[in-house]
Amino acid sequence: MTSVEGADRQLERIFPTGVTMLRAVAAARWLTWLWMAAVVFVAATRRVDQTLDSDTSGADTAFRQPVIAWLCVGAVLMMCIAATVALRVDPSRLMRPAFAIVEGGIALTLSVIDGWVFDQGHVFETSQSLATQYPLIAMATVGLTFGPWIAAAVGTLVGPAEAWAAHLNQFGPWSLRHTFSIVATSIFFAAAGALFGWFSQLLRRVEGEIADRRAKDEVGRVLHDTVLQTLALVETRTSDNDPELARAARDADRDLRRFLFGAASRERHTLESLLRSTIERVTAHHDVNVTINVLDDGCRATPEAQAALAGAIGEAVTNAIKHAAATRVIVFAETDERGEVFASVRDDGIGFDRDKVRAGRGLDGSITARMTDVGGRSTVTSTPGSGTEIQMWTA
């Protein structure tokens, strides 16, 4: 894996808890192999005195094909060793399709030849088949690699495999109970495969999200510590003697912040994103410092009321910039217990005398009317020389 693309794909496939799961599966595979070896060993020793209890078939069946049985034990041992080595060297190999296909194939083959290697009367009677828990291991591997659907599909094949095994074992007579047993086996393994697949998909998604968030935080922190620091300084130091540079720095600062912190909130159509985008629009190309504080949890104002409020706030900010010559504007909005919104736009501009400026500055038309149209209200507090505050309520 030298190409970047290859490395990326590997990262995407293999996720940290995935490795933990692969380890658990590898351990379970070794246990299964031990169990299988024990089963085969016990059955092989039984061959010697087979003739003594030819009646008591069932639980005590011996081998017709001991060599094949030992070959099967060897095959599973190879899988165990391969998995252990791969875990050491490169765990992602265990999640390649080839490995899962081989494992699924071995599990089904074991289930089928179970009926062939044992003496007649083995199937449906013994508690221990040749495959033991190996199909379950295969379900885990297939689920991890291919996801729930394919794992479920492979799981349903285990039942037919056992039916085939019964055929090879010259089983008869066939009754409803046996059909039922086959169907139950299929359902069990399909469910197991689906569960493993679903669970690993879930883990993978969660981890992906965590990783994305971490990466974003990291980028944000780096930009914070470097670029934003410098921009803030440029903004502060040039505001008197080079307003153009200060404005450029402020724009860059705002764009960067919007990129870093705004993307997530803009995806949702919240009151906050609505207000922010409105204010963003009216302050574009203006040299003004706008602080936006919005607490919009539990907002139950109608969309019309929210739109009206956003429009009114936009007007208020525009007024502050264009007419009041403000350098700072603070926009605050919060929901009350009923879910209605209170908003305030405050500036440090020249202010005005309410008595002298009647319907001026578009206040009555653009702000008061907007709010009253949706059943809200607004008030204006201003003193010449010490700024203006416009307060608005949606209800």
Partner 1 sequence: MTNAPDNTDQPRIRTVLADDHAIVRAGMRSELGDRFDVVGEADDAEGAIDVINARQPDLVVSDLHMPRGGGLAVVEACALVCPIVILTVSEAERDLLDAVAAGAAGYLLKNSPIEDVRASLVAAADGEPVFSPSLAALVLGEFRRMAKASDANPLTDRERQVLQLVARGHTYKELGTELTISPKTAENHVRNILGKLQLSRRSDLVRYAVQHGLD
Please state, in angstroms and rounded to a whole number, the distance separating the CA atoms of residues 154 and 167. 20
For partner 1, the closer of residues 53 and 217 by Cβ is 217
For partner 1, the closer of residues 280 and 348 by Cβ is 348
Q: Which residues lie below 8 Å from residue 140, measured CB to CB, with a gap of 6+?
A: 21, 25, 28, 196
Least distance from partner 1 to the Cβ atom of residue 224, Å: 5
For partner 1, the closer of residues 82 and 227 by Cβ is 227
For partner 1, the closer of residues 76 and 313 by Cβ is 313
Chain mean position to CA 152: 22
Whole-Å CA distances, 64 to 113, 135, 168, 252, 377: 11, 23, 12, 81, 93
- DSSP code of residue 119: P
Compute the chain's Rg from CA coordinates: 36
Please state, in angstroms and rounded to a whole number, the distance separating the CA atoms of residues 18 and 16. 5
For partner 1, the closer of residues 82 and 295 by Cβ is 295
For 125-171, the DSSP string reads: T-S--SSTTHHHHHHHHHHHHH-HHHHHHHHHTHHHHHHHHHHHTT-
Least distance from partner 1 to the Cβ atom of residue 386, Å: 9
Least distance from partner 1 to the Cβ atom of residue 138, Å: 35
Least distance from partner 1 to the Cβ atom of residue 374, Å: 22
Closest CA to 145 of 82, 186, 110, 93: 93
Whole-Å CA distances, 9 to 14, 220, 234: 9, 25, 42
Segments in the chain forming alpha helices (H): 4-13, 16-46, 66-89, 97-117, 134-146, 148-156, 158-168, 176-223, 229-238, 243-257, 263-267, 271-283, 303-322, 369-373
Least distance from partner 1 to the Cβ atom of residue 362, Å: 22
Please state, in angstroms and rounded to a whole number, the distance separating the CA atoms of residues 24 and 1. 25
Least distance from partner 1 to the Cβ atom of residue 237, Å: 6
Q: By CB under 8 A, name the binding residues for partner 1.
A: 221, 224-225, 228-233, 235-237, 239, 253, 261, 289, 291-295, 297, 327-328, 330, 332, 334, 344, 346, 348, 389
Least distance from partner 1 to the Cβ atom of residue 271, Å: 13
Pairing of strands 341-347, 328-335: antiparallel
Token pair 């990262």: residue: 11
For partner 1, the closer of residues 9 and 300 by Cβ is 300
For partner 1, the closer of residues 137 and 274 by Cβ is 274
Least distance from partner 1 to the Cβ atom of residue 265, Å: 13
For partner 1, the closer of residues 179 and 226 by Cβ is 226
